[in-house]
Amino acid sequence: MMSRTFETDEDEMIYHLELHRDTISWLCEQLDRKGIKNRRTRGNSAEGDILLIKPEDAEIVRQMIRELHKTFNE
C-alpha cells in the first residue's frame, strides 16, 4: 500500500474526500454503462452515497464494490 505524507491534517482530509468523491462518480458511471439506474445521494445520507432505483440491482453493485476493494487493497 502506498503511504502519503501530508503537510496538514486538512490536506489529508481533502485528499480523502476527493478520492471518495471521484470513486463514487466513477462507480456511478460504471453503473450507467451497465444500465443500472442510480442516483447520487446528498446530505451525508446514512443510507449511503448511491441510491439504486431497483433494489434487485443491489447484489450486482455489491460485487462491483468487492472487486474494486480487492483491486486497490491488495
> Is the pLDDT at 2 greater than 60, yes or no?
no
Map residue 72 onto helix, strand or coil. Answer: helix
Q: Are 30 and 64 in contact (CB under 8 A)?
A: yes
By C-alpha distance, which of 12, 14, 32 is closest to 24? Answer: 32
| Contacting residues for 68 by C-beta, under 8 A, at least 6 apart | 23, 27
Q: Report the Cα 22 to chain-centroid distance in Å.
A: 7
Give the residue extent of every domain in the chain: 9-73
Tell me the per-residue pLDDT of 16-72, one tens digit each, with 9 for 90 and over: 999 999 999 999 999 999 999 999 998 888 888 898 899 999 999 999 999 988 998
Confidence category of residue 3, pLDDT binned at 50, 70, 90: low
Q: What is the chain's percent helix, strand, coil content, to nearest 5?
A: 60, 10, 30
